[in-house]
Structure 1
Amino acid sequence: MQFHVGRLIDHVHLRVADLGRSKRFYRAVLQALGRDIIVEAPGYFSADELFVSPSDGGPVSRVHLALQTAGREQVHRFHEAAIAAGGRDNGAPGERQYHPGYYAAFVLDPDGNNIEAVHHGPSQRSAPSVVITAGP
């Protein structure tokens, strides 16, 4: 089994009211970013470091989750796909004042989580991800 990681966060786990509705939303958002759900199991789904499961009557998550993009076009595709999949606009695509080149869009997912797609401007990565091979 291999894990691809990059920075501080190991994973994010969202608890949602309606797993099917959230799966449709996140599948559309991820596909707009050139990714997809990678694990679908009874009671949860995951994509990269994002895990989503039902709240089972408990509270749902309320977080701000920022997803990296390869460019401004993906920020626009994310925003359009998220709105079409039941998200609510929380900030149209555009430049932000966080640092030069910061370009983002914000959408509230079906449970009210603030989901952002961000492009940090021209940059070069040393690698697309870090590969960790688990087990003996």
Structure 2
Amino acid sequence: MEIQELHRGRLIDHIQLVVKDLSVSHTFYAAVLASLNVPVGGQGDGYFWADELFVTGIDSAAALGALTGRHHIAFQARDRTMVDAFYKAALAAGGRDNGAPGERSYHPGYYAAFVLDPDDNNIEAVYHGEASRSASSVLITF
């Protein structure tokens, strides 16, 4: 059996997106996640994953043959520069603008950018401002 390692410890356990064209989505998410220093963790027949994000093609067994609708995902960024890099990478990889990088009124220091992915899901990168963490994540090995 292969040993797997996952980083966990954020609010969301996982998100699954069902997409029309897995190859197009893989190109988009590989670029966006690379700008956030998150590698694509793996892929198989009809899916790929990175951290808590699982993306499946509409024809995969996990998708049950249907698109599930428009979703919003917010990725954590370490600083404003990373939010800016996310936005540029997303647009270069086929995403569409849904809110250029800038401060938002959600709380002081909330700096974010929004793009629509190839399936019109609203994808955000957000930096919440200066803060300290006890750990970047929890490493789980099984």
Taking structure 1 as the reference length, the TM-score comes to 0.94
The reply to whether residue 58 of structure 1 matches residue 66 of structure 2 is: yes
CA distance in 2, matches of 1:118, 1:33: 11
Aligned pairs for 1:59-74 within 5 A: 59-74=67-82
CA distance in 2, matches of 1:59, 1:45: 16
CA distance in 2, matches of 1:61, 1:104: 23
- Give 3-state SS (helix, strand or coil) of 1:82's partner: helix
Q: Select the residue among 79, 98, 103 that pairs with 1:95.
A: 103
Q: Select the residue among 31, 36, 49 that pairs with 2:34.
A: 31
Tell me the amino acid that sits aligned with residue 80 of structure 1: K
Aligned pairs for 1:12-51 within 5 A: 12-51=15-54
CA distance in 1, matches of 2:140, 2:38: 19
In structure 2, stretches of 5+ residues that fail to align are: 60-64
Divergent runs of 4+, >6 A: none
| C-alpha spacing 1:60/1:16, structure 2 compared with 1 (3 Å) | farther
CA distance in 1, matches of 2:30, 2:69: 18
**Partner in structure 2 of residue 131 of structure 1:** 139
Aligned-residue offset at 1:60: 4.4
Identity of aligned residues (%): 60
Taking structure 2 as the reference length, the TM-score comes to 0.90
Is the 1:12–1:51 contact (alpha carbons within 8 Å) kept by the matching residues of 2?
yes
Tell me the amino acid that sits aligned with residue 11 of structure 1: H
